[in-house]
Amino acid sequence: MKSPALIFLAAFLVNNIVLMRFLGLCPFFGVSSTIETATGMGMAVIFVMTIAAWITWIVFNVVLLPLNLVFLRTAVFILTIASLVQLVEMFLKKSYRALYNALGIYLPLITTNCAILGVTFLNIDNKFSLLNGTVFAIGTGLGFTLVIITFAAIRERLDLAPINPSLRGYPISFIAASLMALAFLGFSGLFGLT
């Protein structure tokens, strides 16, 4: 069993959710046009990912496993996450207005973010304990935030650069992401993690 610190590092850098696992690419390309929106999205992802990891872990281990309903995993998880996001949104709106103003518009987008559902599946597939699952979710969320903010910074500069018209927009963003992924490949093997 790996220690929580190694699980965190693996999720944060070595197996980065966006650049190495290819999850959450829609927000990665969709809301990374400015650093400000990227930061908001990153924070919202960390927040929801951690809560979703707890709830789905409990649902899976307390409800689905004892009742032998593992085949319902996909349907139950997606519905759990969708309703969770709604609840979180309503709760923040009523109780933490400042936080809601900062994260509010990103919360509905998160329901269809495959990174959230992906992390809950990976938690179950890796048979993590609740503590390790939490660490994994936070590490993954931080990794997502790091990459999306860095990418937003690059894209802000790319907008000003003289680029061939057929490369403008998506193509040059993909090529920039490719170079970032190449840099992140350098982390593989860190502390023996692959």
Partner 1 sequence: MTKLNIFTRGLVKENAVFVLMIGLCPALAVSSTVRDGFGMGLAATFVLVFSNLIISILRKNIPNEVRIPIFILVISTFVTIIDYMMQAFQPDLYRALGVFVPLIVVNCMILGRAEAYASKSSVVNSILDGLGTGLGFTLALTIMGTIREILGNGTFLGLTVFGESFRSAPVIFMIMSPGAFLVIGILKALINKYVKRELR
Q: Which stretch in 21-29, 39-47, 134-142, 154-162 sits in contact with partner 1 by CB under 8 A?
A: 21-29
> Residue 45: in which H helix or E strand, if any?
helix 35-58
Number of residues that bind partner 1 (CB under 8 A): 43
Who's near 55: CB < 8 A, 6+ residues apart? 80, 84
Checking 100-103 for CB contacts under 8 A at 24+ apart, the result is: 102/40, 102/43, 103/40, 103/43, 103/44, 103/47
CB 167 to partner 1: min, Å: 5
Query: In Å, how far are 42, 122, 176, 178 from 39, measured between CA atoms?
Result: 5, 25, 19, 21
Write the binding mask 74 to 93 for partner 1: x where contact by CB under 8 A, - elsewhere.
xx--xx--x-----------
Q: Which of 127, 170, 186, 192 binds partner 1 (CB under 8 A)?
A: 170
Interaction site with partner 1 (CB under 8 A): 19-26, 29, 71-75, 78-79, 82, 112-114, 117-118, 121-122, 125, 164-168, 170-175, 177-179, 181-182, 184-185
